[in-house]
Structure 1
């Protein structure tokens, strides 16, 4: 089927998940625990983060969950912040994370734009983090739509934020591809009536994504070749 538009997830899709977020999480847990090792271990456990490896486990809530969901499970261990304040702290901290693009983004996105494709981003991170990171990567202006879990459209796997992109961009869902690294991305794409492209720059394995995707690619850089086929 023809694809007129691509809606990208951010973490694990535009940016390699582990390379961007494993080290960030170690710094956040250190800051929030304030030297309390028991609290640090407890927070690591609830977000399924391995302190020894300094890496997320594949079942971590952080991989596909929203900022609010992550803040909710961490809040009991951070007595000086409520869940709302903690979500804001996470968003502000994430906006400054060291980014690891999955591919050279400017060239990749410009190639899709040259083909006449419309581009957007929908992430379960906060909108301020998403826009900050895309700006720092030098590609924010390539997207006609950038939404986070707090943008008023809901969060994945709800299809509403995906349909909001279609409305804003003036494209039909069945001629739009949702591109993501998690089941949340692909389930949202299916619910919205979109084509679904899975990528392996997140934590999920090919066999996990394949039943829910039209195609699973190693990374977004393989999309032009897929279009040509």
Structure 2
């Protein structure tokens, strides 16, 4: 089965190699992602996130999913000393940096519960996969048609935070200014919840985010600094030289 839909502002592609996988399970996956978009989008005035931000909801009586997401945001805010924050000063509540990986990981769990054994779920370039080997390309931060490395992925996830697609959109919550110490940072982890949040949080920390992320259990990383140096942990499972030329 192969299927692509545009959800949460980016393409989500699903490939399942199990011949007996039910099509209804894929319907359930995309229905879940649409539900997430409706509930957590900071751009939909009727979403639970926007209603909370406007003070229309009791913070002690939120849905279990929003409570979980805000808990993840607080976890990474504390771990980064405020560099990563879903509540940046002067801005609306925006948990998107947590929601994407969290929701897609839960989608992968829905696939497994439906019997999928070999699948690849790609959400805007962040990937969770099972039953590999799969090969995930890491895009060159300055040349769209080139790769820095290729990650062999069996069961796990890989996520990248970078400046090449959306410019300086990741802010350092301590200063409110764009974080510009890195061009891109890719993280592998057991789940996309971890990989996506750690990649964004580390990017917000700038150059300090590389040793911070490298010290986290289960995380390996590949980073390109603003001065085009390549930094990688010894366990980063990449094929290729990892060289980045100016």
- Tell me which interval the TM-score lies in, with the shorter structure as reference length: under 0.3
What TM-score, normalized to structure 2?
A: 0.26
Q: What is the TM-score of this pair, normalised by structure 1?
A: 0.28
As a proportion of its length, which structure holds more strand?
A: 2
